[in-house]
Amino acid sequence: MAGATSALFLLDMKGRVLIWRDYRGDVSSAQVEKFFSKLIEREGDPASHDPVVFDDGVTYMFIQYNNVYILTAARQNCNAASMLLFLHRVVDVFKHYFEELEEESLRDNFVVVYELLDEIMDFGYPQYTEAKILSEFIKTDAYRMEVTQRPPMAVTNAVSWRSEGIRYKKNEVFLDVVESVNILVNSNGQVVRSDVVGALKMRTYLSGMPECKLGLNDRVLLEAQGRATKGKAVDLDDIKFHQCVRLARFENDRTISFIPPDGAFDLMTYRLSTQVKPLIWVEAQVERHSRSRVEYTVKARSQFKERSTATNVEIELPVSSDATTPSVRTSMGSAVYAPEREALLWKIKSFPGGKDYMLRAQFGLPSITAEDSAPEKHPPIRVKFEIPYFTVSGIQVRYLKIIEKSGYQALPWVRYITTAGEYELRMI
């Protein structure tokens, strides 16, 4: 059986203990503090260290969030994947409670933090990590006076992610279909990797215990129903569902049915590994004139249909760290030099499909270079954009049915958007 965690720590940036909760009594806070401070000192930036560290019989797993480290210490052979995920869930819980998780918010609310640490884990095993549920029996100071002394049903309910008795005047559901495109182009201009990660993000404001049913243009489903699939259906490679979705049901007849949690959550994620044509293509030519001047010629092309428009396009063009006196001309949008990021940021508010835009930039270089300068890092060109009303996969929500026993009518709102994920084009 998977091992249990000995204790959970919240540490500041110097590795000092802010708050900790001991679950099994086999690690001491002094020991952890000593080790972790040393690690921070040695590594400079512990974020570059792998998140699982071993020292003197104790395994530490940590993540960083703002100016706080969240860390578990364990003496047993525990499950790394589950603990690291648990840490992220803990962050979510704190964020729900204190708006933002940071040193100050933890200090200000230490009593609540203790209460939460008591319920999210017992004897080293994760228990309740649903902020919505926890917030029903652990209140922040503001609501402290109306103490509930009865644990809500959800804690002991079959539906652990939703409580009974939720009421809204207006019953609404917002469903965002967000696809992010990851692309990697090597310095020869070849696309070496591309995939699309999609997510159906939901925000539900529904009363009672609503039964939801979602219909997609899923090829497997449509074919099973004997419907025509003239190019409209999509193949989704690898689908993952929120725990509320009845997986067995989906396995059987591809129906996505669920009782949603209250508020925002990711209903499902999927991945398409088909080759995707880069939606925005960027080419950069770099010319070094003698030692004093470097010239960039950048061409950006939108490779999607003309009826779509990319918004908030930002092309981050890396320039060498000692470049000075920029002079830039663009055929569209504006470009600013951001020395702190060692990059030129070219922003285009609106970029319709099938267009070409140009940028020319010139930088001065110091005539003397430092002798022992660090080797150049050659970061890639990175692109950010959003294309509303468009998905790469062509996924469509055919229906979203909401049935509740009180019989109210709920309004579903659906939106589609494609964004750039890890979108990297390496320069020569």
Partner 1 sequence: MPPPPPHRPTSTSTPSGKGELAELKTQLRQLAGSRAPGVEDLKRELYKKVISYMTIGIDVSPLFSEMVMCSATSDVVLKKMCYLYVGNYARVHPDLALLTINFLQKDCQDEYPMIRGLALRSLCSLRVQNLVEYLVGPLRSGLKDTHGYVRTVAVLGVLKLYHIAPNACKDNDFPAMLKELIHRDGDSQLHFSFVSGGIQFFYLMNNEHMIYMIKDFSEWAQCLVLEMVAKYVPEDPNETFDIMNLLEDRLQHANSAVVLATIKVFLNLTMSMADVHQQVYERIKAPLMTLVSSGSPEQSYAVLCHLHLLVMRAPVLFSSDYKHFYCRYSDPSYIKKLKLEMLTAVANENNTYEIVTELSEYAANVDVAIARESIRAVGKIALQQYDVNAIVDRLLQFLEMEKDYVTAETLVLVKDLLRKYPQWSQDCIAVVGNVSSKHVQEPKAKAALLWMLGEYALEMPDAPYVLEGFVESWAEEESPEVRLELLTAVAKCFFRRAPETQKILGAALAAALSDAHQDVHDRGLLYYRLLQHGVETAERVINPPKQAVSVFADTQSSEIKDRIFDEFNTLAVVYQQPSYMFLDKEHRGAFEFSDDTSTNASVTESSETMLASQSVDANDNDLLLSASEKEDTRGNLVSNGSSSYVAPSNSLIDGLGSFTVPPAASSLPTASFAIDDLLGLSLSTNSPESTLAQPSLVLNAKPALNPGAFQQKWRQLPVASTEDYGLSSQAAANLTGPQPLLKHMQTHLIHCIASGGQAPNFKFFFFAQKSNASTGLGYFLVECIINVTARKCTVNYKTDESDLLESFAAVFKSAILNFGV
From residue 114 to residue 153, the character string flagging contacts with partner 1 as x (rule: CB under 8 A) and all else as - is xx--x---xx-xxxxx-------x------x--xxxxx--
Between 244 and 410, CB nearer to partner 1: 244
**299 near partner 1 (CB under 8 A):** no
- Compute the C-alpha angle 133/135/138, nearest 5°: 120
Position among 13, 47, 220, 338 found at the interface with partner 1 (CB under 8 A): 47
Between 275 and 406, CB nearer to partner 1: 275
**311 near partner 1 (CB under 8 A):** no
- Least separation, in Å, of the C-beta of 94 and partner 1? 15
* DSSP per-residue string spanning 362-387: EEE--SS--TTPPPP--PPEEEEEEE
- Least separation, in Å, of the C-beta of 426 and partner 1? 6
- Least separation, in Å, of the C-beta of 40 and partner 1? 15
CA distance 310 to 300: 12
CA distance 428 to 318: 12
Residue 368: partners with Cβ closer than 8 Å, 6 or more residues away: none
Position among 13, 192, 224, 336 found at the interface with partner 1 (CB under 8 A): 192
Between 108 and 287, CB nearer to partner 1: 108
**99 near partner 1 (CB under 8 A):** no
**424 near partner 1 (CB under 8 A):** yes
**48 near partner 1 (CB under 8 A):** yes
- Least separation, in Å, of the C-beta of 47 and partner 1? 7
The two structure tokens encoding residue 324? 């000075």
Position among 41, 43, 100, 108 found at the interface with partner 1 (CB under 8 A): 108
Sole window of 109-117, 333-341, 396-404, 405-413 interacting with partner 1 (rule: CB under 8 A): 109-117
Alpha-helical regions (H) of 287-426 = none
- Compute the C-alpha angle 76/77/81, nearest 5°: 125
CA distance 318 to 370: 20
C-beta of residue 309 within 8 angstroms of C-beta of residue 353: yes
**What angle, 0 to 180 degrees and rounded to 10, lies between the N-to-C axes of helices 110-120 and 80-98?**
140
Q: Which of residues 218-247 bind partner 1 (CB under 8 A)?
A: 237-243, 246-247
Q: Which of residues 339-378 bind partner 1 (CB under 8 A)?
A: 375, 377-378
CA distance 406 to 299: 58
**334 near partner 1 (CB under 8 A):** no
